Every structure is written in structure tokens, then in C-alpha cells.
Amino acid sequence: MTISQTPVIAKAHTNIALVKYWGKADEHLILPTNDSISMTLDHFYTTTSVQFDAQLAADDIILDGIKLPTDGQQRIRQFMDLVRQRAHTDLFAHIETSNHVPTTAGLASSASGFAALAGAAAKAAGLNLTRRELSQLARRGSGSATRSIFGGFVQWHAGHDDESSFAEPLDEKVDWPIRMIAIVVSQDEKKIGSRHGMKQSQTSPFFNDWVKQANADIDPLRTALLKKDINRVGSIAEHNAMCMHATTLSATPPFTYFNGDTIKAMQLINDLRSLGLNCYYTMDAGPNVKVICLADEVDAILDHLRPAFGNDQLVVAKPGPGLTYL
Ligand code: 2P0
């Protein structure tokens, strides 16, 4: 194992789950309560550079050009400790990361962030990991990062221990024109982070039913993706998202990620569907809405959304690639 003498730069894209990860079976190892399936997006990504340096007394972390205060570094440092332990080194590192994702606004910057960090840190530390091993490592930073190691459609197998919980690509070179339109209703930081939110959701009396439903959605969604059936893909994903969000409304105390614009966007998508367009919504741990549709209907959908949302709030994304090195 040789520590890299030059910075290693990795790029990873964010992903949006079609069957969601929402609940942990093991908080320390980040083992989820159920399998999940996502689509990696081309439009939103993180680049991260890592270089170990014998001169450093602590990790030096710069996020979007700003040095992170010590209290903001804990998750990254803990993750770097894991990399150091595996690489048998006690060196600290310069870490510089740039997000091309609205940070913490429900477009999953922790997914691309920890996938890029896992890739860059492992290689900089001289660890020669397979992509499956990188997905296991990324998982320890943030669950959704497990899936961002791969491109296209990706399944995270929940597993039962560190070894058995990893992601696997279902179709990395998506050859049909599925699209996601992100309706960015808010760029504000979310009030309840997903880590805290999913824990609170586990108090819902419906939580076990949510897990059952999510596991039951996996095979039908895999089949629908294989058949390139946008209506099956969209309706499974939309129903799955609503089941997930039902666990927030029924938690103790109850909460929701939706705001008024989230509901407005859902209604506009419902209108479009009753007009015969094939479009479906999904939401994550924030108020933004992602519309699942086909490329040839994007313009008609955007036209219908524009009176309510500005051009700068509407971003069209395609399936994107997995982890790469620059
Ligand atoms: C997902 N989301 O499958 C789910 C659906 C949002 C809703 O962001 O605690 O940030 O770091 O493992 O990965 C998952 O939350 O949580 C997530 P941690 P993470 O994409």
C-alpha cells in the first residue's frame, strides 16, 4: 500500500431513489431497514481532492472554498479515521470538495459527497478497492452514497452486516430516454436532516409496514426498469415516496418535509397526468420535487410548470455516470 504523493481527485454524481432508503437497522454500520433502488443523475455532482500530508496535525477540510469549522468536520473526520485504519496510516489529509448540487435542499449532496470522498480518500491512501468495496466504504459516510458509486439504475442490497450491505448496478448505460425534472422549490437548508428524520420516522406505527412495502416494491421496479415502462416505474416510485413520507406525518412528534410549493407541484403533475402525460413525482428529505418522465414530454411538462415556477427552479437531469477519477 503506497500513499499517493499527488492529490487524487474523484467525481461522483448524486442519485435519486425510486424505492427509498428511510430507516436504519444499524446506526453505526449504516445498515438500512430495506433494499433501495436509485437513478444516478448527470446534472448534480461533487468533486473531491484528497492528499495525505505528514505535516498536518489534523484533517484540513475545505468545502466549496470555505474552511470547515471544527464542529462541522466530525462526520468527515470519522470517515477519514476509517480510511486511515484500513490503510494502516496515521497521516492526516488535505480535503477539498466542491458541490455542484444545492447543498442539503433535498437533492442529496451527502450521496455524491461521501461517494466522491470514499473514492478519492481510498485511492490517495493506496487502498486498491473494487467498486463494490467502495460502495461499502461510502455507505459508512452516508447511506445514500452507497448507490452513487455506480451510474444509471442502482440497487443497494440492505444486507445484514458490513460485508453484505453494498450497491450493485442494474443498468449503468441506460439506453432509454427517462428524465427527472428537479423542481427546486427551496435552496434553504432543510430543518430536519435525513439522519434525524429517518430516526424520528421509526417511531411511526406504520414504520414496519413501510419497510414491507419498500421491500415489496423492489422486484416490480426492477422488472419495470428492464421493460423501460415509464408508467410502471413512475407509479411505483411515486407510491413508494408517499409511503415514506407517511412515516413522517405519523411519527412522534410528527413532521413533514413538504411545504406549500411541494403540494402545488404535486397537483400540477396530477393535472398533467389527467391530460394524458406520463409524469410522476418523488420527494426526498426536503421540499423539492423530482418529476419522472420521458424526454419527449419534458417541454410540455415545463410549459405547464412555468407559470408557478421560474426557469431557474426547473432543472432537467438524465441518467448519469458512476464514480470517476479526474
Ligand atoms: C434515499 N434519502 O434513499 C433517501 C430517501 C432521502 C429520502 O437522503 O443517515 O443522507 O447519512 O445514511 O443517506 C437518505 O439519507 O442518510 C436520503 P444517512 P442519507 O436517498
> What are the backbone angles phi and psi of residue 217, rounded to the nearest 5°?
-80, -15
For residue 229, the Cα-to-chain-centroid distance in whole angstroms is 23
How much is the pLDDT for 108?
Answer: 57
| 45 has a pLDDT exceeding 70 | yes
**Ligand 1 pocket residue status of 144, Cβ below 6 Å:** yes
- State the number of CA atoms in the 13 A half-sphere of 300 facing the CB: 14
Residue whose CA is at the smallest distance from ligand 1 atom 7: 284
Q: Summarize pLDDT for 46-82 with one digit per residue, the tens.
A: 999 999 999 999 999 999 899 887 766 899 999 999 9
User: Can 8-174 and 178-317 be said to share one CATH topology?
Assistant: no
Sketch the domain layout of the chain as residue ranges: 8-174, 178-317
How much is the pLDDT for 105?
Answer: 42
| Separation of alpha carbons 119 and 127, rounded Å | 10
Q: What is the largest CA-CA distance in the chain?
A: 64
| 22 has a pLDDT exceeding 90 | yes
**Ligand 1 pocket residue status of 17, Cβ below 6 Å:** yes
Residue whose CA is at the smallest distance from ligand 1 atom 12: 143
Return the number of other C-beta atoms located less than 10 Å from residue 85's C-beta.
10
CATH number of the 8-174 domain: 3.30.230.10
Average pLDDT, the chain: 95
**Ligand 1 pocket residue status of 51, Cβ below 6 Å:** no
Residue whose CA is at the smallest distance from ligand 1 atom 11: 142
Over residues 237-262, mean pLDDT = 98
Q: Indicate the top mutation candidate among 194, 201, 288 to test ligand 1's pocket, ranked by most ligand atoms within 8 A of CB.
A: 194
How much is the pLDDT for 1?
Answer: 72
How much is the pLDDT for 104?
Answer: 43
Query: Residue 190 — pLDDT band, cuts 50, 70, 90?
Result: low
Q: Indicate the top mutation candidate among 21, 33, 165 to test ligand 1's pocket, ranked by most ligand atoms within 8 A of CB.
A: 21
Kindly give the number of the ligand 1 atom that is closest to the alpha carbon of 139.
Answer: 12
Over residues 106-117, mean pLDDT = 84
CATH number of the 178-317 domain: 3.30.70.890
Tell me the ipTM for this assembly.
0.99
Return the number of other C-beta atoms located less than 10 Å from residue 152's C-beta.
21
**Ligand 1 pocket residue status of 197, Cβ below 6 Å:** no
